[in-house]
Amino acid sequence: MASLLVFYEDLEVGAESRFFLQALICREQALLTASFKVKPVARLLCLTDRLVRDAVRELAEAGLLVAKKQADKVGRPGQEYEASQYLLDLLAQPRGSSLTHRDLVLRLFSEPEIYAEGPRPETDTGSEKVARKQVRKDGRPAAPGASGRLGAATRVLLAALLTFADQCGVVAGVGEAKLRAMTGLSPIALKHQVRRLVSLGFIRGHVPGVSNGFFVGARVPSTYYLSLDHPQLGEQSLRRALLVYAEDGLSRNERLTNRLPFDVAGALLSLGPAALDVLYHKLARYTSHLLSLTWGGPGERYGEVPASLAGMIGRELAQLKVGKPEQNEAGYYWPKVLDHFFEVAFDWSERLKQKLNGKAWPGYQPQLVRLIPAPESEEGNDSLMIVSLIVYPAPENQKGCIVYKDVPGGFLREFDSEADLDVWNRYEFGLLTE
């Protein structure tokens, strides 16, 4: 099994050099025990000569490759490279192989036929482009980034996110500093590649974290929702199912503050939209935790399951301090918010089970449920609240996608998979974002 050296944080090289090194390891690790030239290895890996030339130069400067001259050959001496002892020692170190999405990660480094195709056709975006050739003159596939293929730096970031994703594609608790160290991307390049993955639908949605300017002494990492069933990831069978639920329910701010004392609710809302968005998605994750453990039956406020939720909330929220220095350490209202989040998550999970059990997939018991809240209408005049439930594994012999509009005159419709939904509905449901 190929070693995932690409994410080694002490590698002082950029994203494209990391991609080349990992592609070399995935394709033929034996190449690293012998000398190689730029052009032959570029042809072997379906990479451009420029990418390989720049990568081997940077890897040599970092002490991972050793440059050699062919002094015994007739004519102009050629440049060859071989693995340094430092690189061989790194490859010999035992590394964990229990990644949930290891096969998908390795595919990003070994398969050139992964395209940068977004969910909307080019004609829908008003930017129709002339297709570039997909095959070079010598018959090889075009390199990543050419002819519409997914670029090297984009693949490295997507692979890094996949190492943290659960079976429903949710990545939580990973800071930007960690991702930069794993990918070699600069802060600006990282933001650009995140936007790129969002526009292509590999990332369903991105909830930016907040700095310690919102919560005293603590940063809250971003949350990423990956689309593991994206057609370009090459899964032959759908492993997850989707249920979209819409109702005339509480708005985000109403759900966050419902039943809180007036002064506490006002103080919470004063944190501002960015912090409230982060907290709302945390609330969705707490609700997901309860749904995963109690789907198909009533929940209990006491016992192991609620205790596990209380522990999760305590670990994540108790460290966040709010208020002014002259107030008590935790902020005068924050402890009440922690208890409130437990109650709201419990009530939300019970309501969803009450509405959905018996309507969707009778007899089905998922191992994991994850909620993806849809963004609210920018005009603020749409009272319909939408949340999507990604469940794993997909129920056997049943439809893989259900849309349930729970309002007077509403409907319940079944589809084979999410791909059968209209693309604009997927944006409306929060399954894709701009």
Give 66's pLDDT tier (boundaries 50, 70, 90): very high
Percent of the chain with pLDDT over 70: 84
Percent of the chain with pLDDT over 90: 61
**Mean predicted confidence (pLDDT) in 376-397:** 84
**pLDDT above 80: residue 79:** yes
Please state which CATH number belongs to domain 5-92: 1.10.10.10
**Does the pTM exceed 0.85?**
yes
Distance from the Cα of residue 115 to its chain's centroid: 18
**pLDDT above 90: residue 374:** yes
Q: Beta strand pairing status for 241-248 and 368-373?
A: unpaired
The reported pLDDT for the residue numbered 376 is 82
The reported pLDDT for the residue numbered 93 is 85
Give start and end residues of each alpha helix (H) in 95-139. Answer: 102-110, 122-125
Give 58's pLDDT tier (boundaries 50, 70, 90): very high
pLDDT tens, position by position, 189-234: 999 999 999 999 999 999 999 877 777 667 889 999 999 999 999 7
**pLDDT above 60: residue 404:** yes
Find which of 13-17, 31-35, 258-262 is predicted with most confidence, using mean pLDDT.
Answer: 13-17
Using CA atoms, how far apart are residues 414 and 420, in angstroms rounded to an integer? Answer: 10
Mean pLDDT score across all residues of the chain: 86
The reported pLDDT for the residue numbered 330 is 44
**pLDDT above 70: residue 324:** no
**pLDDT above 60: residue 380:** no
Domain range summary for the chain, segments of one domain joined by +: 5-92, 102-128+139-233, 241-428
The reported pLDDT for the residue numbered 55 is 97
Give start and end residues of each alpha helix (H) in 147-303. Answer: 152-162, 176-183, 187-199, 252-257, 262-269, 273-294
**Mean predicted confidence (pLDDT) in 92-113:** 87
The reported pLDDT for the residue numbered 126 is 46
The reported pLDDT for the residue numbered 77 is 60
Q: Select the more confidently predicted residue: 214 or 274.
A: 274
pLDDT tens, position by position, 328-372: 544 556 777 888 999 999 999 999 999 999 899 998 999 999 999
DSSP 23-49: HHHHHHGGGGGS-B-HHHHHHHHT--H
Q: Beta strand pairing status for 401-406 and 368-373?
A: unpaired
Q: Of 12-26, 101-115, 262-276, 411-425, which gets the smallest average pLDDT?
A: 262-276
